[in-house]
Amino acid sequence: GAVVSQHPSWVICKSGTSVKIECRSLDFQATTMFWYRQFPKQSLMLMATSNEGSKATYEQGVEKDKFLINHASLTLSTLTVTSAHPEDSSFYICSARDRDRGTNTEAFFGQGTRLTVV
C-alpha cells in the first residue's frame, strides 16, 4: 500500500529556534500534501494544503510566516516551525494523496511528529 513517511517522529527544541518536519511519499507521487495539527484528545485541524511547485494554501488563522511549507518535489513536503514557542507544542501530521488514483480518493498519513518546545 501507499506509504507516507514523516520525520522526525518526535523533537524537543528550545524556545526561539526553528524546527523542520519532513513528509515523504515513499511509493507514489503526490501533487498535493496536507498538514494538520492535532491537540490532545481533539480532532485534526487542517493547517495548509501544499502543492508541488507552488505556494501553499493556508487555512484561516494559520500564520504563514510562522509555519513555512515547501513542496519542492512530488515526493517531499516540509513544514518548518519558525521561532517556536511553547504554544506551538503539538502533534503535527502530514498526509498525501496519490496523484495517479484521482482526487476523490483516500489520503495516506504519516506517523506524526510530536513537537515539544521548552
Partner 1 sequence: GDSVTQMEGPVTLSEEAFLTINCTYTATGYPSLFWYVQYPGEGLQLLLKATKADDKGSNKGFEATYRKETTSFHLEKGSVQVSDSAVYFCALNQAGTALIFGKGTTLSVSS
DSSP letter for 5, please. Answer: E
- Per CB under 8 A, 103 contacts partner 1: yes
Q: What is the DSSP string of 35-47?
A: EEEE-TTS-EEEE
What the block records as the C-alpha cell of 17 is 529556534
Q: Which listed range, 13-21, 61-69, 70-78, 97-105, lies at the site for partner 1 (CB under 8 A)?
A: 97-105
- Per CB under 8 A, 78 contacts partner 1: no
**To which residue does cell 505556494 refer?**
55
- Per CB under 8 A, 68 contacts partner 1: no
Buried (b) or exposed (e) across 24-61, using 16+ Cβ within 10 A? bbeebebbbbbbbbeeeeeebeebbebbbeeebebeee
C-beta of 112: minimal distance to partner 1 in Å? 4
Q: Which of 15, 29, 42, 116 binds partner 1 (CB under 8 A)?
A: 42
- Per CB under 8 A, 111 contacts partner 1: yes
Binding site for partner 1 (CB under 8 A): 4, 6, 32, 34, 41-44, 46, 49, 93, 95, 102-112, 114
